[in-house]
Amino acid sequence: MESLDPRRTALLLIDLMTRIVEQPTAPHAGSAVVARSLALAEAVRKAGGLVVAVRVERPGVAEQPPGSELAEGVLGDLEIVKHTWGAFHNTRLEEALRKRAIDTLIITGIATNFGVEQTARFADEFGFTVILPEDAVTALDAHAHEFAFDYIFPRIATVSTTAEVVAALE
């Protein structure tokens, strides 16, 4: 992976909420995804990039389910609330990124084949360069994760590791 211009880079933390992180996931534990995402957030901030925490709220309900807060330690410079799988639909995310001249997105989170994939697909369609660190993303089952990383993500993104992204920011 080439070096990244941190001023034009944002890290999107997808659905790292207590109730989602605590679900059984594979191939990586939710806690491991949070730890790697926090390491990436530290590296992105240190280099001068933007960290965006994206969380989902169920539409049309008076109260969100218990555990709907961001997991401990997860904090965005910008917080986006979505009501669908992807982070772009009917949110101010694209506008906020364009306003800051962001053209590269590092995407982490849960679940690979839901919020992460939907966000990555739209990011690619909107012309962003997309980076997906495989070890900072997980699914509800390993097969879904592996399918996305073997067949979908290589066509729309650079697949990497957390360590490779951190090195590219230095």
Is 1 in a helix, a strand, or coil? coil
For residue 14, what are the CA distances in angstroms to 1, 62, 113, 156, 170?
A: 22, 23, 12, 18, 24
CA distance 144 to 124: 20
| pLDDT value of position 170 | 86
| pLDDT value of position 160 | 98
Residue in 10, 49, 20 with CA at minimum distance from that of residue 109: 20
| pLDDT value of position 19 | 96
Which tens digit of pLDDT belongs to each residue from 9-58? 999 999 999 999 999 999 999 999 999 999 999 999 999 999 999 999 99
Could you tell me if 128 and 103 are in contact, meaning their C-beta atoms sit under 8 angstroms apart? yes
Residue in 159, 170, 136 with CA at minimum distance from that of residue 39: 136
CA distance 133 to 44: 14
| pLDDT value of position 26 | 98
**DSSP 8-state assignment for residue 64:** P
* Mean pLDDT, each 10-residue run in order, the chain (170 residues): 92 98 97 98 97 94 93 96 96 97 98 97 98 98 97 98 96
CA distance 27 to 139: 7
CA distance 107 to 11: 6
